[in-house]
Amino acid sequence: MDNWQLLEYGAWALSILLGLYMLFDTIKTNRAYSEDLLTSSKEGETDDALVIDPPHQGGHK
């Protein structure tokens, strides 16, 4: 077995681990939050919460 084959097996193993983690996280998230909350869009609330420098919000006057 050469180095390239070992790297290939390592990449497949990492891919499987990431896939399993994503599946686990999806199941955990679906159990913790309702489908209505996960599919809702509340525009504006995140923009207001992420203002770092309030005097510069909305441009210069």
| Lowest pLDDT segment from 6-10, 17-21, 45-49 | 45-49
The Cα 35–Cα 29 span in angstroms is 10
Residues 13-46 have pLDDT tens digits of 999 999 999 999 999 999 988 888 778 766 555 5
Assess contact for 16 and 8: CB atoms under 8 A: no
pTM for the full predicted model:
0.57
Using DSSP's 3-state secondary structure scheme, residue 14 falls into helix
Assess contact for 12 and 18: CB atoms under 8 A: no
What secondary structure letter does DSSP report for 55? G
